[in-house]
Amino acid sequence: MLFHKDHIKSLDEGSIGEAYLLLMKVGSKFFSFTDKWAIFEPVYATVPNHWHRVASDLDENAEDYGQILKTPRMIINNREGTLSREYSDDGSAQSPAESL
């Protein structure tokens, strides 16, 4: 509910883009202690018809690290300023041009 105060089923591309930019801005500051962090797709979301995104560091010691590896995610590299997309636990990634 970053941009809408009411629950709505669909968002326009501009709102989605603004939400990602805001998440990236806040996340880069909040996760400044780590080289990389991620914004996850809502594969495991429990509320249908909601645009949910979760951001997290990629701590290998996290209790839910197995689920992290199974969830499609956008990786933000704080040091290099790059974006990449990972889709599965096999570590495959696409370049930003291929994924965005």
d(CA 81, CA 71): 22
Residue 91 has pLDDT above 80, yes or no: no
Total Cβ atoms within 10 A of residue 38: 22
pLDDT tens digits, one per residue of 38-48: 999 888 777 76
Q: Which pLDDT score, from 0 to 100, does residue 4 have?
A: 54
Task: Identify the H or E element spanning 94.
Answer: strand 93-94
Write down the pTM of the prediction: 0.73
